[in-house]
Amino acid sequence: MRRPIVVANWKMHKTVPEARSYLRRLIELVGRDPGLDVVVLPSFTALPAAAEMLVGTPIALGAQNAHPEASGAFTGEVSVVQLTDLGVRYVVCGHSERRHLFGEDDALIGRKVQAVTAHGQVPILCVGETLDERRAGRAWEVVARQLEAGASELGDDPRGLVIAYEPVWAIGTGVAAQPADAQAMASQVRGWLRDRFGAKGDEIRVQYGGSVKPDNAREFLSLPDVDGALVGGASLDPGAFAAIAHAARR
């Protein structure tokens, strides 16, 4: 059975003091043995403080992005090596805001996924179609292309890979996908993972993301092919995020 995984994507929110008070509360709410993987993705600026606070807790630290090269002349970028040094375990690759607002393409995202696994960390590869693509009946074609490119450098070993299916039109809009549509896509993703990685594909966790909140979390987290959630807006409040984590328990 796949262990559920819920991830709090803070995006560009929270100062260091705000991150500290959030984490103090979340640590209390999550307890010692949540029975699932709970991951927090602060901004780069709050990572060192968060790393310190999370030692000895069941909450893992992740980053929202990373550069695939280990070091070099890449002004403004942060490498997987630098993140690993801070205790980061998970790195999001190809979030739709990176793809659409910052022009990241499939090839770059594939290199990021490869760099994260090469350093023994877990990539969370985000995939998802826009509303126009869905209306044109092209949702699966787009997601399949993103999976293909994202996993293109992994050979036949996916290691800890996590996939987050996030329809672009559901992110930050308050309008979540229909659970049946999320299940249909997650099941297609699972089929693809089996074809690509054989039996190891069955161990890969597939999350749903896009306007997940405490009051709809269970609808998504009880779907047979959905193993967790990537949460943006609702994750900014520790009580709301802990409620979503609770709903993911099996």
Q: Report the interface residues with ligand PGA, using CB under 6 A.
A: 9, 166, 171-172, 209-212, 230-234
106-118 helix and 139-150 helix, angle to the nearest 10 degrees: 40
Q: CB of 164: closest distance to ligand PGA in angstroms?
A: 7
Read off the tokens for 58: 């069941």
DSSP symbols for 200-229: GGGGSEEEEESS--TTTHHHHHTSTT--EE
Tell me whether residue 119 is one of the annotated catalytic residues.
Answer: no
* Residue (68 or 210) nearer to ligand PGA, CB: 210
| Catalytic annotation, pick one of 95, 129, 219, 246 | 95
Closer residue to ligand PGA, CB minimum distance, 88 or 177: 177
The minimum distance between CB 122 and ligand PGA, in angstroms, equals 16
DSSP state of 57: S
* Among 50, 56, 41, residue whose Cα is nearest residue 16: 50
Find the distance separating the first CA and the last CA of the chain, reported in whole Å.
10
- In the complex, the smallest distance separating the C-beta of residue 70 from ligand PGA, rounded to whole angstroms, is 27
Is 95 known to be catalytic? yes
Selecting among 97, 129, 133, 166, the annotated active-site residue is 166
Smaller CB separation from ligand PGA, 116 or 240: 240
Q: Which residues have a catalytic role annotated?
A: 95, 166
